[in-house]
Structure 1
Amino acid sequence: MTGQKERSSGRNLRSRWTFLLLVIGSFLLWIVKDLGTSLSRGGQFTALPLTDQGRAPSVLAGTTDCGNHTTQSGILRPRNPQSEPKWPWKEEFSTRHPTAAHGCSDSLRLTASRSDWLKGLFLPDITLFLERGHFNDRKWELLQNFVPPFGWMGLNYTVVKDVMSQLPGRTDAQIYNRAPLPGCVRCAVVGNGGILKDSKMGTDIDSHDYIFRGNGAVIRGFEEDVGSRTSFYGFTETSLRDCLAKLRSYGFTGVPADQDTRYLHLPEAATDYNWLKGLLLHKEGINSGVSAADRRQTEEIFHDKMEKLFVLHPDFLRYIKCRFLKSKTLKGPRWYMYRPSVGAVLLMTALHLCDKVDAYGFMTENYQHFSGYYYDRVRKPLRFSENHDFFLERDLWSRMDYAGVIRLYHRT
């Protein structure tokens, strides 16, 4: 009897374990099935398939897992972001009406079109700036597949829509702040590199039709080396706050404010769109993560400059990354942090607005011979950021210089 009870007890125990294993197995199978649409081989993302209409179909609406942002359309839901997603559809970039010819017989556009390297990469008529008419449900769904600044993944639908509804349309005359110039439009893009310290290049820089600067563009006291005029000033909301906080003692107390200065905003994160909403609608965005004092400081700078503010299009920023600055960082787990530097974006913007582009203060092969920045009081090494790939940018400028697309300032 005792043996029979033990055998019966053993069978019951095995039955309970079998039942438990079946429940666990079913649960795991359900999880795997749910993840199947989100993971590809190698643990990367898979994109949503395209429909016959050429658009990504929606997934469930609601709160995304990229933050507490409610969307009114579907997004890709990342599960195991070990490298940048690889999408099954071809590149899609917005284009603008062809820019009117300036009568420049040797424009960089012509040089690029004759280059075996550039002719398949360079899009002279890609859309540069966001405008009111650019927002619709299809664009929202498409840009949900790309992290900022290359898209709108994880951003709040209402904030983006509100910002886009207030952006004006732009003409070439408004961008240049004057009628098209006859002949070749010459532009100087001035980086902040230490190669410009004691360079005496100020007069040469100021001789250009338009001059681009960005971030901590300290001018007062350095005019002999970097010039004095500013036609376009580029920034992100974060970089502007950082420069105002860290470079005040160097003389950077506000953005350049010449009568004809235009401002190029690179929207790299949710804070940028919240900041824009505050400026355009005089309302605070949500989850800005920026103190009221810091927000007021930057808003006060731009409250009377809104008609001069241009917001760079995510398509243009993605085009720069995909075709010219595709860093190896994108193959690793920190892919989502990478973006071209503000200086790189300004130089690429100039290439699509100007006929001739000269670049000053950018990294060259012998960068170690100079201080990190031209305004350094004592010599300091260049500081690198994991958000950017300065060596990749350096190699691109060198190659463009060699191809005759830009003229890069060198110094021994």
Structure 2
Amino acid sequence: MVPLIVLALILLGLIIPFGRKTSKKSYQEVVDENHRQLVHSHVKAILDKKCRPAFTRSEMKSKFKWPGQVKDYFLREASPTGPMFKYPPPFGFYNMKDKLHEILSLLPKSTGQESSGNACQRCVVVGNGGILRGLRLGSLIDQFDIIIRLNSGPVQGFSKDVGTRTSIRMSYPEGSPTAWEDQDPRLLFVAVVYKSVDFNWLRAMITRKQSFWDWLFFWQKVPSRIPIELSQFRILNPEIIRETALDLLQLPAPRIRLWGWDQNVPTLGFSALTLASYMCDEVSIAGFGYNLTDENALLHYYDTLPMRVMLKQSMHNVNREHLLLKSLAEAGVISDLTGGVHCSFCSR
């Protein structure tokens, strides 16, 4: 019997077509030149300042009561502990201990968490928002130490706006690129497990051995191959998502339901922000913000989906996320490069 949560995901896929349908013909720049220059000056000022060690981390702990207690943000064989198996995905691996250990045993042993080697690191989490279109921020985005991209957000054909470098590509099966573009040999692919069958797909990507049954229960076409080395695969610690949902967003505790969600699953972008707060000293966001007041605004920078499709989703509490992101940006804990959440450089 197909699990009901899988049927729910299939239904969500029918309602919200998350797959990339890029239209190069429709890729037009409609940004006012004066606004573009304001954005560039804002980003340059951030990059020109001296990097502040552990800044975002310490500010989130002191001002937003963020515990920040996840030791291993990427899982390794020594990571799994009892609390990790308390909740179902994406908050934990309830009833999935054997599957988790099997996947971890297929990956090379890791001695610790990643670092670029710089004394002080700046991260930028590049969202897929339509606000990026026409800003021509690519060369400035590429100057950050760590660049985190989400799902299948493309770079080829859009590098003028979003840059060319990718340090981390963070995704789940249905959101992953079916056409691989990232060329950086140091790139990490960070898999996020939302449901049990995601482990089947991840095992197939690692072993490069596929089964029809591995593909049966996804609500959207998934890649048949991720062309990277074994050493480049990572699994996100679900405690990152749990911490994001329960501690930062103050959402209801996860519970097993027969159908649907409690709107307590954070978006991948917000979870990436939490990850960045562990990895980097200063954190910026770009391409964030849902302009739900304009239903015809572009949802993504790479296609023509309108903003109104977000009104139909039932998985995320985007209003609460927006309020917290705005508070973080207004307090200077993070920097909003594109001003979709909080525009510190806009005229009042």
How does the TM-score come out when normalised to structure 2?
0.71
Q: Counterpart of 1:310?
A: 234
Over 3 Å counting, the alpha-carbon distance change for 1:235 and 1:210 in structure 2 is same
Aligned ranges 1:256-335 → 2 under 5 Å: 256-281=182-207, 288-290=214-216, 298-302=223-227, 304-327=228-251, 334-335=260-261
Q: Counterpart of 1:238?
A: 174
Q: Counterpart of 2:281?
A: 355
- Displacement of 1:149 after TM fit? 1.1
SS at match of 2:89: coil
Q: How far apart, CA to CA, are the structure 1 residues paired with 2:213 and 2:173?
A: 15
Q: How far apart, CA to CA, are the structure 2 residues paired with 1:255 and 1:314?
A: 27
Q: Counterpart of 2:90?
A: 149
Over 3 Å counting, the alpha-carbon distance change for 1:311 and 1:405 in structure 2 is same
Q: Which of residues 277, 298, 316 in structure 2 aligns to 1:371? A: 298
SS at match of 2:114: helix
Q: How far apart, CA to CA, are the structure 2 residues paired with 1:128 and 1:335?
A: 25
Q: Which of residues 115, 118, 124 in structure 2 aligns to 1:181? A: 118
Over 3 Å counting, the alpha-carbon distance change for 1:222 and 1:276 in structure 2 is closer
Give the counterpart letter for 1:406 in structure 2: I
Q: Counterpart of 1:22?
A: none
How does the TM-score come out when normalised to structure 1?
0.61
Deviation track 1:351-385 (CA, whole Å, cap 9, x = no partner) reads: 11101111000015677384111112486645342
Q: Which of residues 110, 134, 137 in structure 2 aligns to 1:170? A: 110
Contact 1:130 1:167 in 2 (8 A): no
SS at match of 2:279: coil
Contact 2:155 2:181 in 1 (8 A): no
SS at match of 2:234: strand
Over 3 Å counting, the alpha-carbon distance change for 1:380 and 1:398 in structure 2 is closer
- Displacement of 1:114 after TM fit? 3.7
Q: Counterpart of 2:127?
A: 191
Q: How far apart, CA to CA, are the structure 1 residues paired with 2:66 and 2:274?
A: 13
Q: Counterpart of 1:75?
A: none
Q: Which of residues 47, 50, 55 in structure 2 aligns to 1:107? A: 55
Deviation track 1:31-65 (CA, whole Å, cap 9, x = no partner) reads: xxxxxxxxxxxxxxxxxxxxxxxxxxxxxxxxxxx
Deviation track 1:170-206 (CA, whole Å, cap 9, x = no partner) reads: 345x623x4x213x21111100001111112222211
Deviation track 1:230-251 (CA, whole Å, cap 9, x = no partner) reads: 11101001222xx53xxxxxxx
Q: Which of residues 245, 249, 272 in structure 2 aligns to 1:346? A: 272
Q: How far apart, CA to CA, are the structure 1 residues paired with 2:133 and 2:253?
A: 31
Q: How far apart, CA to CA, are the structure 2 residues paired with 1:314 and 1:402?
A: 28
Deviation track 1:224-270 (CA, whole Å, cap 9, x = no partner) reads: 21111111101001222xx53xxxxxxxx225232221111101111
- Displacement of 1:334 after TM fit? 3.3
- Residues 1:212 and 2:148 aligned together: yes
Count of residue correspondences: 288
- Displacement of 1:284 after TM fit? 5.9
SS at match of 2:103: helix
Over 3 Å counting, the alpha-carbon distance change for 1:328 and 1:314 in structure 2 is closer
RMSD (Å) for aligned C-alpha atoms: 3.4
Give the counterpart letter for 2:67 in structure 1: F
- Displacement of 1:299 after TM fit? 4.6
SS at match of 2:160: helix
- Displacement of 1:160 after TM fit? 2.8
Bigger radius of gyration among the two? 1
The answer for unaligned runs of 5 or more in structure 2 is: 5-50, 341-345
- Displacement of 1:147 after TM fit? 1.4
Contact 1:202 1:226 in 2 (8 A): yes
SS at match of 1:175: coil
SS at match of 2:316: coil
